[in-house]
Structure 1
Amino acid sequence: MNLYFRLFWLFVWRMRNISSIGFLETSRMAHRVWPSDCDINMHLTNARYPALMDLGRTYMLAEMGQLKPLLKLKWLPVVNASEFTFIKDIKPLQPFHLDTRVLGWDDKYFYIEQRFVSERGLHAIANVRGLFVCKGRKISSQELVAQVGFDGVMPQLPAAVEEWKLMLQRKKAENL
């Protein structure tokens, strides 16, 4: 239930007081761990990370000034794959922020990094691979980049992300 409250808070309050970032800049969204976010170990449960990341990616699009235009086109974001590295727990009531940024893209997918950080340091880092769809059609990365008006140089993906891409290709090939 508290994620609905956070989503409501995002659309009603944060969207009115939003900063503006460029396409490759980092979005930062502040949070606090609520008791209902915790598991039996009394820390942020692993299941909550992906839900918070969804909010972070939505907030990033809003900060880029792209949320409304993309929704108007009915281009909807879809996560294809994600991977997490948990470093240290986040305790109840502890404030933290979620940093979200576009790492780069290929012909089909965008690669996004999301970091959970507090005054205690880095807690978790995740990479997400996704794309946009509209009425069953996959929107190419080139279409999206043109739509958002980015005309800079495409960044090179980090080596770890390239390795992850290869692993995902192998996994798909082995299971078809």
Structure 2
Amino acid sequence: MYPIMRMVKELVKYRNSAPLPLTGTHVSEHRCWPSDIDLWLELNNGRTLTLFDLGRIPLARRNGLIDTLRKNRWGMTMAGASVRYRRRIRTFEKITMYSRAVYWDDKFVYLEQSMWKQNGECANQALYRAAITGKDGIVSPSTVMAAMERQEATPEAPAWVRNWIAADATRPWPPQKD
């Protein structure tokens, strides 16, 4: 089940937070609850992706994207993800999440998120490809920026992000069934 009450809590908690620039980092704290665990009593890998929503949506609100989406009747969807899991997060552990936009091109916005344990170790990191969508399909980031009345230049993509974009472009679609 989607953690709707946790999302509401995050939106209320950060409703008066300072606005962020488009590449600003939203920092939030979370806890791994029993409803988040798998059979091995640790944060489920799929739930990790859901919990990253708890960082992305407040980030989008703080940088002004949510208001622009509503005003233009646009949506935001994830168009790809790559996740690296390195440390287990156990039941009741507290984690700190960092969420930020790192790059955008003519179609997509690339978001980096990570979860950090209280001992300073990074438990996992995700790179997301997000698309803003309208009734006619994908809305270009330049159109979104204009609607937001923002003039920020596209940041240079880190090498690892460029490499992921290039590698993902070689992946066949649709995939083979056999």
TM over 0.5: yes
TM-score of the two chains, using structure 2 as the length reference: 0.89
Query: 1:112 maps to what in 2?
Result: 111
Q: Percent identity?
A: 25
Shift of 1:53: 1.5
Query: 2:32 maps to what in 1?
Result: 33
Query: 1:80 maps to what in 2?
Result: 79
Query: 1:170 maps to what in 2?
Result: 170
Query: 2:128 maps to what in 1?
Result: 128
Match of 2:80, SS state, is strand
Residue identity in the other structure for 2:78: V
Query: 1:89 maps to what in 2?
Result: 88
Query: 2:22 maps to what in 1?
Result: 23
Query: 2:42 maps to what in 1?
Result: 43
Give the conservation status (yes or no) of the 8 Å contact 2:112–2:128. Answer: yes
Shift of 1:154: 1.7
Unmatched 5+ stretches in structure 1: none
1: distance between equivalents of 2:42 and 2:29?
17
Shift of 1:70: 1.5
Give the conservation status (yes or no) of the 8 Å contact 1:29–1:59. Answer: no
Residue identity in the other structure for 1:94: E
TM-score of the two chains, using structure 1 as the length reference: 0.90
* More helix by percentage: 1
Give the conservation status (yes or no) of the 8 Å contact 1:97–1:116. Answer: yes
Give the conservation status (yes or no) of the 8 Å contact 1:102–1:113. Answer: yes
Residue identity in the other structure for 1:28: V
Residue identity in the other structure for 1:51: T
Deviations 1:124-153 (CA, angstroms, capped at 9, x unpaired): 001000110111421011111222233233
Out of 118-127 and 141-150, give the one that drifted further: 141-150
Shift of 1:108: 0.7
Query: 2:4 maps to what in 1?
Result: 4
